[in-house]
Structure 1
């Protein structure tokens, strides 16, 4: 049997509630790994929050975090960072549009100013109470820039302001200092320039010697598009956005119906 590289988004794909993997999904992944496959979770989350899901698999899954800006391989962790130019651009645009940005290292959240309660609640849904994440309020943009060497990615939440999000996306793309995507219609994902989940997937294909034709990728959101295009066996969830369904070669059941497990069980059975 050929070796496979299996990569799955987390929210809206691998889990139904952002945190917990069902026994059926865990068993399907374990069976694939026992047959020689390598398994990665691929997420926009910071590394510490990706571990919450990865640790539910035995053997433990590897991690692509921060939308491809961070990934693990052979005991090492690779980092790409947003950089001072991108951070300055985001702070300028969000200030002009009345939006709020959160920035992430592997285990710390940074922000400037005051984050509204609704934004804080939106961010915390990804962090179970069992995980302690440092949240650091910075008094100025200069203080934020001092942490630039550690900041891999960020997010702008706009749960009630889609017009401002659209303007923010256009303004940031025009400056061409970072990559802007989205995991949901309520946010903008801030990623280092020329980086997305596909970057990590392609680098891992080279490192493992497992080509696209043996790469299986699952996703549901816009920030999964590059990853799906890098995989020869690309799978959209039934709950995926239309663009993902149009891009993927296959479709499986929704995340709440163990779609990842159902596809893998059928695929390896055949």
Structure 2
């Protein structure tokens, strides 16, 4: 069989509980790589948090992090940045609506104002034990902009103010300074303009020479729809939202039922 590009989202797809990959799924992905296929995780997580999940599968696994703003290829790391104008806009809009924004480099989290405890707790869910991510309060916009050369993406988490989150997204969409997405109903993901998981996959298809018809993508959330459209073989998890299932060409079992392994073991036979 000709080589395929296999790409999986992490949360709700590859991981069973945000921090662990099942033995069956690890075995299936390693068998695929043994047979010449290439595997990448693709996530909104910052690079360091994505890398530790990829390494659970294999040190051969590649990383597409920050919703496509950073990815691995041939031992190099490719970056796209949010930029100063986007950072200024997010700071202004979230301050107006009383929301907390977090900004990510490969291995640091930056924020301007101390977030509510429940927001910080929601962010910490994705930090595996044994990995220390730098979390730095910079205090104001001026200090935040000192890190514009390393900030690839960000997230606004608002579990208790859906209206403020929706209005913030509408305000930022009007400015058209970045790409906005969501992995859940209570967040807004901040991505460099013109960038998403799909653009990273397209770049990898060009670099590897593996076309869309031999690209397999697994996902469950709204921010996976773009990359599914970039793949000839798009697979929704059983736990995926309806919008993802409508776009996907196939559906498999849920993330807690080894959906990835079950699909690959059948499809790659």
Alignment correspondent of 1:21: 21
1:144 match: 144
Partner in structure 2 of residue 60 of structure 1: 60
Secondary structure at the aligned position of 2:251 is classed as strand
How has the CA–CA distance of structure 1 residues 146 and 58 changed in structure 2, closer, same or farther, with 3 Å as cutoff?
Answer: closer
Query: 1 CA distance for matches of 2:162 and 2:239?
Result: 21
Q: Structure 2 CA distance, aligned partners of 1:262 and 1:234?
A: 14
TM-fit CA distance, 1:146: 1.1
SS of match in other structure, 1:126: coil
Structure 1: 5+ residue runs without aligned partners?
none
Give the TM-score normalised by the residue count of structure 2: 0.99
Residues 1:161 and 2:164 are matched in the alignment: no
Cα deviation per residue 1:126-180 (whole Å; 9 max; x = unaligned)? 0022101001101210110111010000000011111111111111100000000
RMSD, matched Cα? 0.7
Report 1:234-245 matches (<5 A): 234-245=234-245
SS in 2 for 1:168: helix
User: Corresponding residue for 1:252?
Assistant: 252
Distance 1:132 1:264 in 2: 33
Q: Which runs of 5+ in 2 are unaligned?
A: none
Query: How many angstroms does 1:226 deviate by?
Result: 0.7
TM-score (norm 1): 0.98
The superposition leaves residues 202-254 of structure 1 with CA deviations (integer Å, 9 ceiling, x where unpaired) of 00000000000000000011111110000000001111111111111111111
Q: 4+ residue stretches of structure 1 with deviation over 6 A?
A: none
Aligned to 1:12: 12
8 Å contact 1:30–1:59 — kept in the other structure? no
Residues 54-203 of structure 1 mapped to structure 2, 5 A cutoff = 54-203=54-203
Distance 1:22 1:128 in 2: 15
Which residue number corresponds to residue 266 of structure 1? Answer: 266
Paired residues, what number? 269
